[in-house]
Structure 1
């Protein structure tokens, strides 16, 4: 039997993908640091957990404004150029955020506005990157490449908060934000110095100014059966599962020993749970239906959030709940990402992934605002109980959807996930361009 490890690392044979992955990992660490320092600074200066929860909304809401346009642009223009522009904006806004901490104590509105700008830069870059992966590695390596992307993202959620907590305590918010800005440079350099890779732009830049071409891009993206219900399922899952992170400021603020290290420790638990699940997902996808994996993920989310509702002040239970929640998050959204890649039309990948970003981050942005508001009105216990019930209902819909004749997410839910190809369709050599 083949070892799982080599196949999981096969995408790293391809030089351009390898450099972009490592640069993206550094940027994800940077983004995690920015998210934590902004959220913690707002919580510390305002002492309001509901306002601190809006940081998550600020980072996620630009998707509504920019994601669809960036997806259409990714299908018409150079994906490398779009990523380079997005990363340039990220570096510039990170520098502005650092200066705001250096010259004064910024108010919550300023921090939320700059967080929105950081989220906008990521929104411009994300669809182009996701649509590029399948062209930077051969078909047999696609599943491994998306798993490595997820692993890098989740590892950054462990490393980033740890760096942020240490710098906030040992130095200052300015030093923390400056370090995050510097970490954004590797991806900028990787994009700037890497050669232009060959990716066929399906619609052509000459049609970019045509409104009809934009409508065709979106129509083609939604033409494949199962895309629309899959996107609806993603929005539903992200709304309910984001309650854990959205209410993290409230959990920390409720404790007498609240500090940046405690905040970072819980974020690290969440990221660790994500990493622990990744090695198991490969075997699970070969053995189980995708509907089963998603149902287990939503059920674990319901149990972990329910445990928080019962004991929001017990630190050991809170840590265990964040560990389980992080694992459930990875199982759900790495599975839906692969399902989307299978279902997407090749000629509209950028738009498909931008719609995915809208649904995913839309649920997170809405959840960040509503969970914080619900907590301010009803308290932690009631709010977590509502979130747990929502996760449980979603899990039930996945389990019993066939019996109730509900198309809960899409036609691929009954199939095992596979990116296996025939020798005739997988003759790509490792790319060392």
Structure 2
């Protein structure tokens, strides 16, 4: 809702395409600026208190933006500043939020919880813009910002009620020193290094489908675009439900390799299919494969590190994932402008297949990825 409201509001505040595009840039820049310090901080302080701070930060920023918008006191640069502040809060929040999963979920259900969390993110990304569009159309951007502010109170309520078990305090040191310790740890931890390399190989190629989707479905209009995103999100939810059972029969590397091949095939098909119903099926299948891959990567990143290093390792994982997607989007978008969307999708599908060769030297250890049937029950 936040992104839809901010994007639409900017079109009303400025006719410059640059200003409109800067809305997304303002939300993304904090990832590259502070995600590593955010991970270090999450390993140095009480994660529950840090999350209460970041969630409250986002409530205040979103509510203030909503009130200023309703009072017609907002301008283009003010909107960009608040968008940056919200992105900053989200980036400071993410490493700590992911790092607490092993603390609130039993080890047997950990992988399933990560899969569900990832699926929830994809479903929210699909349904959120549609819901945000309805709110903006019915009541304006200001109310979409206020509803976004209200959405954080559920998490704040959980954090207030959560009784975190005691943890040994870490030696006091600077954030910079903690970040450097994280780099040294990853350099000496082959399993963590492997998941970062595999994540980079996947994210660089896989981002083409979602990045070029608005162009792919241009003839189907805004409603078609929203429906295709919904299909992708529903596929992710279905993939998360199937993941525990699939893990009982396949190794982690086998599961990731198979899902990558499926995603590559769907990426190629998206550039060749012109019937809307078939395109919906392509996006649904791609969503299921997407969640299978990222859930495995995410679980490895979380379980391969001790608690005192987990948030820093996750911040590096998030940086590689988001950075790979940002770079990939620019690369495939530029290629599509030169050779066309179908050809760009075909090349990105080939890149995904070539990226699978990283399995030879960078295997994922599956001992911790039991993925017990905690999502799907008979």
Q: Same fold (TM over 0.5)?
A: yes
Which aligned pairs between 1:48-127 and structure 2 lie closer than 5 A? 57-99=25-67, 101-103=69-71, 111=79, 113-127=81-95
Shift of residue 367, structure 1, vs aligned partner: 3.3
Q: What CA distance in whole angstroms lies between the structure 1 residues aligned with 2:256 and 2:9? A: 35
Residue 210 (structure 1) shift: 7.2
Correspondence for 1:418: 370
* Counterpart contact for 1:140–1:419, Cα < 8 Å: yes
Gaps of 5+ in 1: 1-32, 421-433
Structure 1 262/84 Cα, relative in aligned 2: closer, same or farther at 3 Å? same
Kept in 1: contact 2:198–2:358 (CA 8 A): no
Give the drift of 1:111. Answer: 5.0
Question: How much has 1:238 moved relative to structure 2?
Answer: 1.9
In structure 2, distance between residues paired with 1:240 and 1:110: 35
Give the direction of change, closer, same or farther, for the CA distance of 1:416–1:164 in structure 2 (3 Å limit): same
Aligned to 1:284: 246
- Kindly state the Cα deviation for residue 63 of structure 1 after the two structures are TM-superposed: 1.8
Task: Note the C-alpha offset of 1:323.
Answer: 1.6
Aligned-pair Cα RMSD in Å: 3.3
1:328–1:200: structure 2 CA closer, same or farther, 3 Å change rule?
A: same
Q: Shift of residue 80 of structure 1?
A: 0.7
Change (3 A) 1:416 1:125: closer
Deviates more, 1:210-219 or 1:68-77: 210-219
In the alignment, is residue 208 of structure 1 matched against residue 161 of structure 2?
A: no
Deviation track 1:188-243 (CA, whole Å, cap 9, x = no partner) reads 3332x225512525524xx1337545433442344322212311221232232222
Q: Deviations over 1:41-100 (max 9, x none)?
A: 668998999987765554344221111111111111010111112112212222244346
The equivalent of 1:266 in structure 2 is 228
Please give the TM-score of this superposition, normalised by the length of structure 2: 0.84
Specify the alignment match of 2:263 in structure 1.
301
Whole-Å Cα distance in 2 between the matches of residues 40 and 384 of structure 1?
29
Residues 285-326 of structure 1: per-residue CA shift (max 9 Å, x gap): 121122222222222222222222224x64334323322222
CA distance in 2 between counterparts of 1:140 and 1:243 reads: 35
1:240 aligns to 2:205 (yes or no): yes
**Which residue of structure 1 aligns with residue 310 of structure 2?**
349
Distance change in 2, residues 1:282/1:419 (3 Å): closer
Q: Is 1:230 the counterpart of 2:198 in the alignment?
A: no
- Conservation of the 8 A alpha-carbon contact between 2:239 and 2:291: yes
- Classify 1:325/1:229 alpha carbon distance in 2 versus 1 (closer, same or farther; 3 Å): same
User: For this pair of structures, how many residues does the alignment match?
Assistant: 372
Is the Cα–Cα contact under 8 Å of residues 207 and 328 in structure 2 kept in the other structure? yes
Does residue 187 (structure 1) correspond to residue 148 (structure 2)? The answer is no
Cα 1:194–1:232 shift into 2, 3 Å = same
Quote how far apart the aligned CAs of 1:372 are.
4.4
Tell me how far apart the structure 1 counterparts of residues 140 and 109 of structure 2 sit (CA, whole Å). Answer: 42
Change in Cα spacing, 1:213 to 1:362, as seen in structure 2 (3 Å) is closer
1:380-399 equivalences under 5 Å are 382-398=340-356
Point out the more displaced range, 118-127 or 153-162.
153-162
Give the unaligned 5+ runs of structure 2. 373-378
CA distance in 1, matches of 2:202, 2:14: 30
